[in-house]
Amino acid sequence: MSKYFTRRAFTATAASTLVISSKSIAQEGWNPDLNNPDLGFDTVQNQSARLSGEANSVRRNASAFRDRSNWKNYFSNTKNGVILVDTQSRALHFWSEKQDLYKLYPVAVPSSDDLTRLGRTSVTGKRVGPDWRPTPSMLKSNPDWPSYIGPGPGNPLGSHALYLSWTYYRIHGTHDNRKIGRRSSNGCIGLYNAQIAELFDLTKVGTQVLFI
């Protein structure tokens, strides 16, 4: 990596918080058709359509989606709503507290097992237009990086972020849409900006989260 910092290079390498990677280049200012189901943005589909269509980028794991479709296999209750992040099939499942709403989203997951944390956590904060600060280890390895990036198209966290009880871990948007459906993050879980906006409205502080 060049010792000189550029906004594009930084956005590509720091997109999901935990360690350094340089596998992709961010597409800033990309404006998808939010009504195009081929891109996974149709937010009015029913559950059946989501299982076969919205997870288009990870549909090769459709059987895994069906296996995960019952919240009772993973949670004792749905108080405050529940999120199941399946790092193997690269999908995020959401059930509402009343169990009358189910959502399925394709996601970007950590690029290696070493970066993947599994277990139970919860949503501890929510933010529209999140800001971003590199971890101490990031700054140590890359002293030319800025210590702060505000909201906007160059921010690695995209348009919305859900903060978890695990330090440095987030469920957030991304401006690099090629990451979705791949092992491409540095630890966090990334969604299309349109879909993290929907999930953001459905969740609350206290929503239960399980990474498997």
For the annotated catalytic residues, the residue numbers are 172, 188
Contact 159, 171 (CB under 8 A): no
* Nearest Cα residue to 186 out of 143, 132, 148: 132
**DSSP assignment, residue 149?**
B
* Nearest Cα residue to 186 out of 170, 197, 206, 198: 170
Contact 184, 12 (CB under 8 A): no
Tokens of 58: 């990870």
Could you give the dihedral angle defined by the CA atoms of residues 12, 177, 152 and 1, in that order, rounded to the nearest 10 degrees? 0
Query: How far is Cα 200 from Cα 144, in angstroms, rounded to an integer?
Result: 33
Query: How far is Cα 194 from Cα 40, in angstroms, rounded to an integer?
Result: 9
DSSP β-bridge partners for residue 160: 128
Which amino acid, 189?
I
